[in-house]
């Protein structure tokens, strides 16, 4: 049993849905990816189901062949600002790269979204791989995998300092005194590191959550180490219960090893639920979608991920034996290994593998009735494999509506999911505390140290040597 635990559910939204061919269905709007009303309605549906959050992926490069499927997407923090205006509770998570941004601009953008939404912002921190992205930022090649994560760690450290550069009570708005803010409680961060030299402070006061929720999605060794130190929610992909249990246990252990409470990080595997009134009808829906996939287009995508020539992947043959090792892959290491392992384990042909990847690009696809989908979710949740799920509807909006109207009531009846929101911020939805401000902590320690000095002086007439903390100065 869940022992009183409750699921955390995130809705991963993507234009017409996660299935490769969803846009070709008669009911799909092929241009939904750039229509704000489409996403506002999806957010309203997810909020009706009391989802913890919605999430948008992003990349600073146009992936794939626009001749074969929709690829254009809106910048997610801008999109979420528009969604914030028509929702009131649901969390709003956007992807942003530490490889091709700077900490000040990104910290400001997410702080602004947190203010606009009343404390509902989250940041999915990614390191961007691929030569195409590098060439959009005046680079000839991508930075190495380890180098990207080293930059990401410093990037996030700086962002947190910037979010803390205003103490909570710095704005006072004292009209009589003519004082809008206490400038002694607004601080320069004066960061000097390998990648960044940033003075600060941020030009946005501290937001309702203190910091936006930090999400991470990498499952490589570097990715898991980064998540253990920084992440509060992790989006991951596993195909089997055993793999999911091993990832879950490993990440929780790594989190404890760096001095964090393992409960402070929520593990959310992705699941693509194909839902119908009977199992056979659900499998029929899945088959109809798979038959709409362009096989040669999908093969080209697979070849790019595997770093091989498309002609080396005959559609009706299994993957070649001489594929690169994961160590030779600079980007999406964990996804590469997941896909190769899936193909080897189930002896799939390239055509079959393309069909399996069409729904969720390596995430688990599950076809069945609402009860069967609920069973699958409950099994992993109670089996030590997940704290919740990243729900990835294959077709939108219908897939999300089916989940909200038919699966969530079952999960609620089983006592596994909330009936209504109990808080107003994203951190409250995930059961996470508001971060302490590092500058405020330093000031309070200073005050306590001064009080201790005074108490000792009052008790003892003789001089007592006291080590004092370095005072935290305000902006001059």
Burial letters for 422-431: b for 16+ Cβ neighbours within 10 Å, e otherwise?
eeebbbbbbb
**Alpha carbon distances (Å) from 408 to 201, 370, 417, 430:** 44, 9, 7, 17
Contacts of 218 (CB under 8 A, 6+ apart): 126, 127, 149, 224, 226, 227, 334
Predicted pLDDT of residue 418 = 97
Q: What is the pLDDT of residue 470?
A: 40
Whether 462 has a pLDDT exceeding 50, the answer reads no
> What CATH superfamily classification does 8-165+202-310+359-429 receive?
Luciferase-like domain (3.20.20.30)
Nearest to 213 by CA among 112, 94, 48, 127: 94
Domain ranges across the chain: 8-165+202-310+359-429
- Percent of the chain exceeding pLDDT 70 equals 87
Confidence of residue 464 (pLDDT cuts 50, 70, 90): very low
Residue 29: pLDDT above 70?
yes
pTM for the model stands at 0.85
Percent of the chain with pLDDT over 90: 64
Between residues 81 and 358, which one has the greater pLDDT?
Answer: 81
Distance of alpha carbon 68 from alpha carbon 270, whole angstroms: 25
Residue 463: predicted pLDDT:
41
- Cis peptide, bond prior to residue 355, ω within 30 of zero: no
Whether the Cβ atoms of residue 272 and residue 361 lie closer than 8 Å to each other: no
Query: For 86-133, what is each residue's pLDDT tens digit?
Result: 999 999 999 999 999 999 999 999 999 999 999 999 999 999 888 888
Instruction: Say if residue 47's pLDDT is above 90.
Output: yes
pLDDT at 7: 98
Dihedral of CA 35/36/39/40: which sign? negative
What's residue 3's pLDDT? 57
Note the pLDDT of residue 124: 97
Weakest-pLDDT range from 26-40, 209-223, 325-339, 354-368: 325-339
User: Confidence class of residue 141 from pLDDT cuts 50, 70 and 90?
Assistant: confident
CB neighbours (10 Å) of residue 433?
Answer: 10
- pLDDT above 50: residue 402: yes
Which of 11-25, 78-92, 126-140 bottoms out in mean pLDDT, i.e. has the lowest? 126-140
Do the Cβ atoms of 46 and 421 come closer than 8 Å? no
Report pLDDT for 310. 81
Q: Identify which of 163, 234, 235, 171 has the alpha carbon closest to the alpha carbon of residue 198.
A: 163
Please write the tens of the pLDDT for every residue from 180-210.
Answer: 999 999 999 999 999 999 999 999 999 999 9
For residue 430, is pLDDT > 80? yes
> Residue 461 pLDDT more than 60?
no
């Amino acid at each position: 049993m869940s022992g009183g635990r409750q699921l955390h559910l995130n809705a991963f939204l993507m234009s017409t849905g996660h299935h490769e061919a969803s846009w070709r269905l008669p009911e799909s709007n092929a241009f939904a990816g750039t229509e704000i009303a489409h996403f506002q309605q999806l957010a309203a549906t997810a909020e009706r189901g009391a989802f913890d959050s919605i999430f948008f992926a992003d990349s600073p490069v146009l992936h794939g062949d626009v001749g074969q499927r929709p690829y254009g997407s809106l910048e997610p923090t801008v999109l979420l600002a528009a969604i914030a205006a028509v929702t009131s509770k649901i969390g709003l998570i956007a992807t942003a790269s530490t490889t091709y941004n700077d900490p000040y601009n990104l910290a400001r953008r997410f702080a602004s979204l947190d203010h606009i939404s009343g404390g509902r912002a989250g940041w999915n921190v990614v390191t961007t791989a691929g030569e195409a992205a590098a060439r959009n930022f005046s680079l000839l090649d991508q930075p190495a995998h380890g180098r990207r994560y080293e930059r990401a760690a410093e990037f996030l450290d700086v962002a947190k300092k910037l979010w803390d550069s205003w103490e909570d009570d710095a704005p006072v708005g004292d009209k009589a005194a003519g004082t809008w803010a206490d400038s002694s409680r607004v601080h320069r961060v004066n960061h000097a590191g390998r990648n960044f030299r940033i003075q600060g402070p941020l030009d946005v006061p501290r937001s309702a959550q203190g910091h936006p929720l930090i999400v991470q999605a990498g499952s490589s060794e570097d990715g898991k180490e980064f998540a253990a130190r920084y992440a509060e929610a992790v989006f991951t992909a596993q195909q089997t219960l055993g793999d999911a249990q091993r990832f879950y246990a490993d990440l929780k252990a790594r989190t404890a090893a760096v001095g964090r409470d393992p409960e402070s990080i929520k593990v959310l595997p992705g699941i693509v639920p194909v839902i119908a009134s009977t199992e056979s009808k659900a499998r029929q829906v899945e088959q109809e979608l798979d038959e709409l996939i362009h096989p040669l287009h999908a093969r080209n995508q697979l070849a790019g991920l595997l770093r091989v020539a498309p002609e080396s992947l005959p559609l009706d043959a299994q993957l070649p034996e001489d594929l690169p090792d994961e160590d030779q892959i600079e980007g999406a290491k964990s996804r590469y290994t997941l896909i190769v392992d899936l193909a080897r384990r189930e002896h799939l042909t390239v055509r079959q593998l393309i069909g399996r990847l069409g729904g969720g690009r390596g995430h688990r696809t599950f076809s069945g009735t609402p009860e069967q989908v609920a069973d699958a979710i409950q099994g992993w949740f109670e089996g030590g494999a997940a704290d919740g799920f990243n729900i990835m509807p294959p077709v939108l909006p219908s897939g999300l509506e089916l989940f909200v109207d038919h699966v969530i009531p079952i999960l609620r009846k089983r006592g596994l999911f909330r009936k209504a929101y109990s808080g107003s911020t994203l951190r409250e939805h995930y059961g996470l505390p508001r971060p302490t401000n590092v500058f405020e902590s330093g000031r309070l320690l200073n005050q306590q140290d001064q009080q201790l000095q005074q108490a000792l002086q009052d008790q003892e007439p003789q001089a007592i040597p006291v080590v004092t903390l370095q005072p935290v100065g305000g902006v001059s």
